[in-house]
Structure 1
Amino acid sequence: MYFLTNVIFFICSFALLDSWMMAARIVLLLFCSLLRTRSNNNDAFEKFRTRHILPARSPATITEWERLIQKRKLCDRPVQSFLRQSDLGDVKAVCTTGGKEYEGNLCISQRSFTFSTVSYDVRSRHVTSVVRETKHLILACDKVNNKCLPVHFKENPDNENPREHAKLCDAPRRWAE
């Protein structure tokens, strides 16, 4: 969809160079701008999934962690957190009823999750540590195929909890703004 909107925007830009009536130009430009700004970020959730969701059989050794990181092309990331595949439904729910507003498009989970944080030496291309943590997740959420889904995993170094009176992450309300 993003590619398609870019193509349409490009075509629309070319059309404006022609000698069309001024009114047609304005309408066409507005239409193209609307398409470009309302497009979904359809690849963002898949990127999140690749970076942060483990396969059904989680790595058990340092060598398996290194293979996973190299296979997924995450070698340029010195710290990477991975969630269990069995938690994927609950992780997605953080962006709606399972999370509360944190700041901007960030939502914080209402419950704690256990995940693995892997430290990776980008120079030597070796895993230096794997630490299991249990914390509330802070996730950036975005519109993907008309669903609110996680697109970024933000660290929670102070082990923050959701604020008691914070609103639920309610995507349709935020999309209307």
Structure 2
Amino acid sequence: MKELHLDPAASRLTIRTRAVGMLARLAHDLEIAASELRGRARLDGDTWTAELSIPATGLRVAGVLRGDSLDPDALSAGDRRDIERRIREEVLRGTEVVEVRASGVARDRAEVRVQIASGSAALATRLSASDRGEGAVEVAGGCQLSMAALGVREVKGPLGAFKVRDELEILFELTLRPAG
């Protein structure tokens, strides 16, 4: 069995939200970045397990999405702080750390469970894993995560003019290095 630890400086996890509804054009599609990540994986041949922890306080608004392009300057500092506060206090209410556990019997597919204070959701995702030399492994992929499955109440704008689509798009590029 081989143990690997997440290299937070070489890893990235982002969450993309999309607004829907009659006045969705007045809302922002957002990219939220995890500025703090901790994790590890255990490999036993092609079988593996992994754990990832994301502190709720480490979720930062990276910017506004225009299609798939990120505009990091579209929001004021006050708007960013307000959105980040709402994420912590309303969306992730009571969650200090988002816990992710994954496992697989091959390096190209994972069964994943995401846990927050209000509930948990299970999903399957495809992965791309590649060796990076000196025992390091890079794992990349993406998936859709339902807020309703996590027990998160619908996120709406004033008077219900728009809402955040239930499915969040999760994108990740994680670098794992040998322990020790």
Which structure has the highest helix share of the two?
1
Higher percent of residues as strand: 2
TM-score by length of 1: 0.26
TM-score using structure 2 length: 0.26
